[in-house]
Amino acid sequence: MRLYDLPITVIRYINIKIIVKRALSILLAINLIVVLVSYGSGNSSIELTVDKAEISVKVGEEAQVKIKTGNGNYSIQSADETKVTATVKETTIIIKGVNVGETVVTVTDGQNKSTVIKVIVTFTNVSLADSYPNDIGIENDANVLYVEKFNNGMTNILSRYDDKLNPEGMSIDEVDVPTGSKESYSLKMTSISGGVNNGGHLFKKFSPGFNNIIYVRYYVKYPTSSNGYFHHESVWFGGHNPSTSYTFPRAGTCGLGDSRLIISYEPVWRNSQAPEGMDTYLYWGGMRSFNEGENCYGNTTINEGRAGYNSPASEEAPVVTFDEWMCIEIMIKLNDPVTAHNGELKVWQDGVPVGHWGPGFPNGYWLRDKWYNNPAGTPFEGFQWRTDVDLNINWLWFEFFHDDPNAPSSYIKFANLVVAKEYIGPINNPTDATK
C-alpha cells in the first residue's frame, strides 16, 4: 500500500509522530552538548564536605580538619578571631584556639560551595605550676629562667638588682602572701604623700637576655588607697640595645625598633566609678602615636571603651581587684626574622586569658595609639617587636611610680615572680577545694 492510498487522518498521525521523534532527538543532542561543554570547561561542581563538622581545641593548640570533596580554590573565615584563627593549605584546614569559647569557621570553594565547622575552645589545664604545688621547687625546672620569692632577706634581695630606688621604703612581709604560696614572702614598696616619696623600684639586667617566647608571671596587690592615683605600678620587662643596668624608657619617643622594647600590664583607665581598668602598656618600634607621630606613649590593646575614645567602659574589661592578690601572666613571642610582623602578645589575669594578639588575629582597628578589638574590623597585623636581632628580653623592673602630689600615702606588694619558656599559670594549691 502506498502512502497516498491511506486515509488522510492516518497520514497526519504519521507525520506528527515523525516530527515529535525528530524534536526529541534534537533536544537530547542539545542536552548532551551542554553537558559535554560544561564538563570540558570545568564548570561542573560537587558538594563541599569535610571530615569533621565539630571539633574541640585547647587554647594555644591547633587541630586539623580534612576537606573530603570540593571544587578547589579553598578559602576560610573565622566568625570570631578573638577565639579561633583558621588557615587552609590545599585540602587541610588548620584551626588554632585563641581564647575560651565557641564559634564557627566557614570554608568556601571556587564554586561558592561552603560548609560550616563548629569550634569549641577550652582552656588547657597543663601549666608549669601544676608540677610544683605551692610553687615549691619551681625555680629548679629546666624551663624556668628566673624566680623571685623575696624569701632570703632584704640584703640578698637588693644584691640581685642593678638599679634600686628608695630601698629604705621597702620591706618584706612574711604573712601577707598569695593563697597557696609557701616558702615565699612578698615585697612591699611604699610612697609618702605630698611628693616626699613617689614610690620605688628594683631593676634587673639579664645577660645575654632571652629570645623567642618568654612568659612572665607575678602576683600583685593594689590597695584601695591608690584608687584614682595610679601612674605606673606593675612589673615591666623588655629590652635595651645595647643593654643597660638602669631604667631607660624614653617615654614620649616614637620608633626605636632597634633599641627599645617595653611590655607591661597595669592599671591604665581611671573610671568615674571604681574599680580602675587594667590594660597593656607597650613600647615598640611599630607603636602608634596619639598626635600624628610627634610623640608616642604606651599603646593599649584591650581598652575599656571598646567602641573608641571616651566610650563607656565595657562590662567585659578587666579591672583592678583592690586589696586582693591578682595573678598576672604575660607571654611575648619575639618576631623572627626581624623583618617580619609575626610577633605575639598574650595576657592572663588570675588564670583567665584577657587578650591575645598576633599575625592575623584578632580583628579590630587602630585609633591613634589604641587598638580596639572588633570582629567586624580588619585582622591585627602582628607585632614587629624589633628591627635588630640584638634587641631581646634583657631586663625586668618592679615599678611603683606613684607621683601624684595629691595622692595619699600608699603602697604596692609583689610576690611569686617566675620567668619561663612556657606557660606558668597561677600557683597550684592542692588544698583549694575548688580544684
Tell me the pLDDT tens digit for each residue of 159-183. Answer: 999 999 999 999 999 999 999 999 9
Residue 417 and residue 322 in contact, taking contact as beta carbons nearer than 8 Å: no
> What mean pLDDT is reported for the chain?
89
330 versus 56: the higher-pLDDT residue is: 330
Per-residue pLDDT at 10: 44
What span, in angstroms and rounded, lies between the C-alpha atoms of 310 and 270? Answer: 11
Tell me the pLDDT tens digit for each residue of 93-132. Answer: 999 998 877 899 999 999 999 999 999 887 565 899 999 9
- On the question of pLDDT at 209 being above 80, the answer is yes
Tell me the pLDDT tens digit for each residue of 34-92. Answer: 444 444 444 578 999 999 988 888 888 899 999 999 999 999 999 999 889 999 999 99
Sign of CA dihedral 130, 136, 142, 148: positive
**Strand positions, DSSP E, 18-89:** 49-50, 54-58, 62-69, 75-78, 84-89
- On the question of pLDDT at 144 being above 80, the answer is yes
- On the question of pLDDT at 31 being above 60, the answer is no
- On the question of pLDDT at 24 being above 70, the answer is no
Determine phi and psi for 124, rounding to 5 degrees. Answer: -70, 140
Tell me the pLDDT tens digit for each residue of 342-401. Answer: 999 999 999 999 999 999 999 999 999 999 988 889 999 999 999 999 999 999 999 999
Look at the block and give the residue holding cell 553537558: 35
- On the question of pLDDT at 283 being above 80, the answer is yes
User: Regarding the domain delimited by 128-420, which CATH topology (the fold level of the hierarchy) does it fall under?
Assistant: Jelly Rolls (2.60.120)
Mean pLDDT of 314-318: 82
With cut-offs at 50, 70 and 90, classify the pLDDT of residue 328: very high
Hey, which CATH number is domain 49-122, 3.60.70.12, 2.40.50.140, 2.60.40.1080, 2.40.30.10?
A: 2.60.40.1080
User: Of the candidates 310, 316, 395, 299, which has an alpha carbon nearest to the alpha carbon of residue 352?
Assistant: 316
With cut-offs at 50, 70 and 90, classify the pLDDT of residue 273: low
Per-residue pLDDT at 8: 52
- On the question of pLDDT at 256 being above 50, the answer is yes
- In one-letter notation, the amino acid at residue 113 is K
Per-residue pLDDT at 7: 53
What span, in angstroms and rounded, lies between the C-alpha atoms of 135 and 149? Answer: 9
The residue extents of the domains of the chain are 3-32, 49-122, 128-420
Per-residue pLDDT at 2: 46
Residue 185 and residue 178 in contact, taking contact as beta carbons nearer than 8 Å: no
With cut-offs at 50, 70 and 90, classify the pLDDT of residue 285: very high
User: Of the candidates 207, 96, 123, which has an alpha carbon nearest to the alpha carbon of residue 423?
Assistant: 123
Least confidently predicted of 37-46, 206-215, 403-412: 37-46
- Does the reported pTM lie above 0.75? no
Per-residue pLDDT at 35: 44
What span, in angstroms and rounded, lies between the C-alpha atoms of 34 and 84? Answer: 43
Helix (H, G, I), strand (E, B) or coil at 157: helix
Look at the block and give the residue holding cell 620608633: 255
Look at the block and give the residue holding cell 640581685: 160
Cell of 321: 581587684
